[in-house]
Amino acid sequence: MKWKKNHRRGYSCILLAIIMIGGITLFFERAGSSFGRTVSTSLLFKLADSYQAGTIYDRNKTVIGRGVEIGKMEWGLEADAMDACSNLIGTPIQTTFASSYTVLGMAAPNLYGYYQNRFTNWKDWLFPRKRIGDDVTLTIDCAMQEEIYKTIKNFSNACVTVINYKTGEILAMVSVPTFDIRDEEALQLDENGVIDASYNNSAYMNKNLHATYMPGSTIKPILLAIALDAHPELKDFVYICEEGNHTFGNMTVDCFDGEFHGKMNLNDGIRLSCNGFAIAMSLEMSEEELEEGLKRWELDTAKQYENRFACDSSSFYGKGEHSQVNRILGSIGQGNCRVNIYELSSMYGAIFFNGIRKDPIFIQTENNTNSKETIVCTEETAKKLQKALISVVEEGTGASYCMKEEGIIVGGKTGTADVNLETGERTVWAVAGILEEDMPYVVTVCLADQGKEASGGTTAGPVMKEVLKKIVSKR
Ligand SMILES: [Zn+2]
């Protein structure tokens, strides 16, 4: 009897062992397939302490920077060009907790050898070699980056993004002020060795990715696209912009500078940026229709991007109540409405690309030449908006950056956001979409900390014109 019991126990042990081995094997197989998608910050710090960084190139194979020893980079560009790229590249990952808003953060797994197998050769066990991470190539065009930087560097707080709306590639992201990346000693660090994110108007930050701003009227085309998709018959919507016709619910909202625009249809409402038109048309949708549309455009939803790409989320209602007042204010890009500059550019990209929104490509790899795409509005709606946006630049509020003389078709939208009515602080915008086969670009100019005299058309518009001329001259 005793023998039999032991025997049975032995079998149970073997069975248990088989189940455990099976389980462990399965675990590693599962883990293996997702290995490489999320990399812990502590692992990146360890790798950065044992690997010399690889080289960072721009899209034309210009060297931006390269690791020269463990923990040390050498920067390859001349003064202005390097300053133009500094906060795009970012400060060392240890000073930002490996933030993925920068090149050093997003590309850290590549730059610090995460994808390399350290010990493929038996000799490496005996004679360890110098460990050098992989090289990365950005979609950024350094020459364009530098030209844009020279145009806006005297502003106290300004950003410009340029994307290719057909491929999703980011060609330039300039954020001023910037900092001297070559002078590591000058970094302002707190007691934990982390940079002060707000230092000098966020000079260490690429505010195109890591900030949000009040969009003013630049939000209107997105909102009207949602309305048109929900109710195609709104293409014929008419609003009479006159005294006494600016009260919605129990709220009165005037047009810019108290102007009255008269009889407004879709095209004129956008061309002249009539607040009354945008509010009245957006109130034609139900709350459910609006929220369904906001979700499609990824407003009020935190979007997850691939390849460690990160940017702050844009929102229509923000943390505010979904009340009529907030909806009216949101419809003209005021109240709680905030957008990220990269995301706004990408939303306009969808309008210019017939309703297709491309995910960003920032770091080039062999398999991401074509990024994920999402249909955010119908082609019919996109085409109607394109027509209206072209009239904005040819004979509307965006006339200051018309490119007809240069033979270039541009559509766009201006925006003037009253950030603080008491101080008169404004954020002003100009967005442009180039409608040329060989330059399918969206350019966004955002100037923050402006005074009450500033406006999208008169302040951001001329900056946009300079930027467009420089981009086009390289054609
Ligand atoms: Zn009006």
Per-residue pLDDT tens for 101-111? 999 999 999 99
How remote is the CA of residue 391 from the centroid of ligand 1, in Å?
16
pLDDT level of residue 5 (50, 70, 90 thresholds)? low
How remote is the CA of residue 20 from the centroid of ligand 1, in Å?
72
How remote is the CA of residue 468 from the centroid of ligand 1, in Å?
29
Percent over 70 (pLDDT), the chain? 90
- pLDDT on residue 33: 38
> What does the alpha-carbon distance between residue 467 and residue 461 come to, in Å, rounded to a whole number?
10
- pLDDT on residue 120: 64
> What does the alpha-carbon distance between residue 177 and residue 149 come to, in Å, rounded to a whole number?
10
Task: Tell me the per-residue pLDDT of 292-325, one tens digit each, with 9 for 90 and over.
Answer: 999 999 999 988 898 899 999 999 999 999 999 9
Q: Per the structure block, which two tokens stand in for 313?
A: 């989320």
Q: Which of 62-66, 98-102, 292-296, 450-454 has the lowest mean pLDDT?
A: 98-102
How remote is the CA of residue 254 from the centroid of ligand 1, in Å?
7
Task: Tell me the per-residue pLDDT of 330-350, one tens digit each, with 9 for 90 and over.
Answer: 999 999 999 999 999 999 999
How remote is the CA of residue 82 from the centroid of ligand 1, in Å?
44
Give the mean pLDDT of the chain: 92
Per-residue pLDDT at 32 exceeds 60: no
How remote is the CA of residue 43 from the centroid of ligand 1, in Å?
56
> What does the alpha-carbon distance between residue 140 and residue 136 come to, in Å, rounded to a whole number?
12
Mean pLDDT of 341-366: 95
How remote is the CA of residue 215 from the centroid of ligand 1, in Å?
18
Percent over 90 (pLDDT), the chain? 83
> What does the alpha-carbon distance between residue 445 and residue 208 come to, in Å, rounded to a whole number?
10
| Widest CA span in the chain | 103
How remote is the CA of residue 259 from the centroid of ligand 1, in Å?
6
- pLDDT on residue 389: 98
How remote is the CA of residue 418 from the centroid of ligand 1, in Å?
17
Specify the higher pLDDT residue, 255 or 257: 255
The reply to whether the predicted model has a pTM over 0.85 is yes
Mean pLDDT of 448-472: 98
Task: Tell me the per-residue pLDDT of 406-415, one tens digit each, with 9 for 90 and over.
Answer: 999 999 999 9
3-state secondary structure of 247: strand
How remote is the CA of residue 287 from the centroid of ligand 1, in Å?
24
CB 331 within 8 A of CB 226: no
CB 101 within 8 A of CB 206: yes
How remote is the CA of residue 313 from the centroid of ligand 1, in Å?
30
How remote is the CA of residue 245 from the centroid of ligand 1, in Å?
10
- pLDDT on residue 89: 98
How remote is the CA of residue 282 from the centroid of ligand 1, in Å?
14
CB 315 within 8 A of CB 297: no
CB 278 within 8 A of CB 223: yes
How remote is the CA of residue 255 from the centroid of ligand 1, in Å?
5
How remote is the CA of residue 64 from the centroid of ligand 1, in Å?
48
Alpha carbon 171 to its chain centroid, in Å, reads 12
Helix (H) or strand (E) holding 28: helix 2-34
Specify the higher pLDDT residue, 326 or 365: 326
How remote is the CA of residue 239 from the centroid of ligand 1, in Å?
9
pLDDT level of residue 98 (50, 70, 90 thresholds)? confident
How remote is the CA of residue 84 from the centroid of ligand 1, in Å?
39
pLDDT level of residue 1 (50, 70, 90 thresholds)? very low
Per-residue pLDDT at 30 exceeds 70: no
How remote is the CA of residue 216 from the centroid of ligand 1, in Å?
15
Mean pLDDT of 161-175: 97
- pLDDT on residue 25: 47
- pLDDT on residue 37: 53
Per-residue pLDDT at 123 exceeds 80: no
Task: Tell me the per-residue pLDDT of 398-408, one tens digit each, with 9 for 90 and over.
Answer: 999 999 999 99
Per-residue pLDDT at 29 exceeds 70: no
- pLDDT on residue 323: 95
- pLDDT on residue 129: 75
How remote is the CA of residue 240 from the centroid of ligand 1, in Å?
8
- pLDDT on residue 337: 98
Q: Side chain identity at 268, as an amino acid letter?
A: D
How remote is the CA of residue 356 from the centroid of ligand 1, in Å?
30
- pLDDT on residue 28: 44
How remote is the CA of residue 275 from the centroid of ligand 1, in Å?
5
pLDDT level of residue 242 (50, 70, 90 thresholds)? very high
How remote is the CA of residue 54 from the centroid of ligand 1, in Å?
55
